[in-house]
Amino acid sequence: MREAYPGAVLSTLRGPPYHDDQAAQVLRLKSAIAASQGVLFVTAEYNRSMPGVLKNAIDHASRPYGHSAWTGKPAGVIGVSAGVIGTALAQQHLRNVLASLDMPTLGQPEVFLQAKEDLFDADGNLGLASRRLLQDWMDRYVDWVTRHVR
Amino acid sequence: MREAYPGAVLSTLRGPPYHDDQAAQVLRLKSAIAASQGVLFVTAEYNRSMPGVLKNAIDHASRPYGHSAWTGKPAGVIGVSAGVIGTALAQQHLRNVLASLDMPTLGQPEVFLQAKEDLFDADGNLGLASRRLLQDWMDRYVDWVTRHVR
C-alpha cells in the first residue's frame, strides 16, 4: 500500500436550497474546494441519478456566474450502492455535470462498488478484492491530479 | 384557447437535505402528489442537469422504499432557460429519473423554451408563437394524463 494522501472530507453537504443567498456554509464549501488540489466525488445513487443533495452542493459552489469554485479542478468519481449497478447511472449524470464545469475527470478505471456482505471483512476493513481495486484507482487518481493541478 | 385546467402549483421545493427524517413539508408534498391526477415538471437547467433542489424533492417523495408518491402518476416535462438549448439536457436527466420512478411520461412534443426578449409581449403575456406551442403541448399533456390517470 502507498502511504495515505492528505485530504479533507466534505461529507456534510447540508446546503440551503439554491435560490437562497450564498450562506456561510456555502462559502466554506467554496473555500475548501479552492484550497484543494483535486476533488474526489464519492456518490450514492437515488432514482438512477446522483442525490439531489450532492447536485445542490455542486450548483451552489458553481455560482455566482464567473466565480465557480470547480473550474479546472481535477476530479475523480467513484460510488457505492446496494444494487448491482453500483451507482453506474448516477456517475454518468455526474460526469455530464463535471464536464460542463470544466473539471478534468479521470476516465478509467471506473469503480462501481456494490455494498455486499463481503465488501468489508469481520474487522470492518475493506475486503482484499475491493482494497486492490481501490488502491489501483487511488494511484491512478493521484497521478491524474498531479498532472492537472494548477 | 381551451379553458384553464385546474391544478396546484408546487413551486416551493425547499425540502430539507435527504438524510433528514421526513419533515412535515415533505409529507405535504407527498400528499399533494397523491391527490393529483398528473405531474407537470417545469425545470430549469443548472450545469447541464436538473437543479439539485428539484432532484432533492423528487428523492424525498420517492421514499421510504415501497411508498413512493410518484409511482404511476402520468408526467410531462417542459423547461425554460436563458441558453439556446432551453433545458434540453436537464430534461434528459429528468426523464431518466422519471422512468425509474415508473411515471408514464409524455414523449412528444418536446418543449425547450429559451427566455428571449420576445418570449413575453409588452403586456407580460406569452408571445403568440410560444403560446401556440404551449397550448398544443398542454392539449397533448391533458390527453396523456386522461389516458393514464388511475
Contact check, Cβ <8 Å, A58/B50: no
Contact check, Cβ <8 Å, B96/A50: no
For residue B6, pLDDT beyond 70 = no
Cα–Cα distances (Å) from A36 to A72, A77, A78, A107, B47, in that order, read 11, 16, 18, 20, 21
A128's grid cell: 482484499
Q: Which residues of B touch A54 (CB under 8 A)?
A: 52
| Model confidence pLDDT, tens digit, residues A112-122 | 999 988 888 88
Would you state the pLDDT for residue A4?
54
| Model confidence pLDDT, tens digit, residues A31-64 | 999 999 999 999 999 999 999 989 999 999 999 9
Could you give the percent of chain B with pLDDT greater than 90? 67
Q: What is the ipTM of this complex?
A: 0.85
Check residue B28 and give left, alpha or beta (phi > 0: left; psi -120 to 50: alpha).
Answer: alpha
Q: Give the lowest-confidence range in A53-67, A72-86, A116-130, B73-87.
A: A116-130
Task: Look up the pTM and report it.
Answer: 0.87
Could you give the percent of chain A with pLDDT greater than 90? 67
Size of interface A-B (CB pairs under 8 A): 92
For residue B76, pLDDT beyond 60 = yes
Cα–Cα distances (Å) from B142 to A40, A46, A130, B6, B32, in that order, read 44, 29, 50, 11, 18
Q: Which residues of A touch B54 (CB under 8 A)?
A: 52
Mean pLDDT, chain A, integer: 88
- Beta strand B112-114 with A112-114 is unpaired
State the pLDDT confidence band at B9, using cuts at 50, 70 and 90.
low
Name which of B20, B21, B46 to mutate to probe chain A: the one with the most chain A Cβ atoms within 10 A of its Cβ: B46
Question: What is the least distance, in Å, from the CA of B78 to any CA of chain A?
Answer: 19
d(CA B121, CA B131): 11
The count of residues in chain A is 150
Would you state the pLDDT for residue A1?
41
Strands (E) across A33-135 are located at 39-43, 75-81, 112-114
Contacts of A51 (CB under 8 A, 6+ apart): A43, A44, A45, A90, B18, B55, B56, B59
d(CA B122, CA B136): 23
Name which of A11, A19, A45, A53 to mutate to probe chain B: the one with the most chain B Cβ atoms within 10 A of its Cβ: A53
Q: Around B67, how many Cα atoms within 13 Å sit in the side-chain half-sphere? A: 8
Q: Which residues of A touch B51 (CB under 8 A)?
A: 18, 55-56, 59
Question: What is the least distance, in Å, from the CA of B76 to any CA of chain A?
Answer: 18
Q: Which residues of A touch B83 (CB under 8 A)?
A: none
Average pLDDT, integer, range A142-150:
94
For residue A133, pLDDT beyond 80 = yes
Could you give the percent of chain B with pLDDT greater than 70? 85
Among all residues of chain B, which has the CA nearest to that of A58? Answer: B52
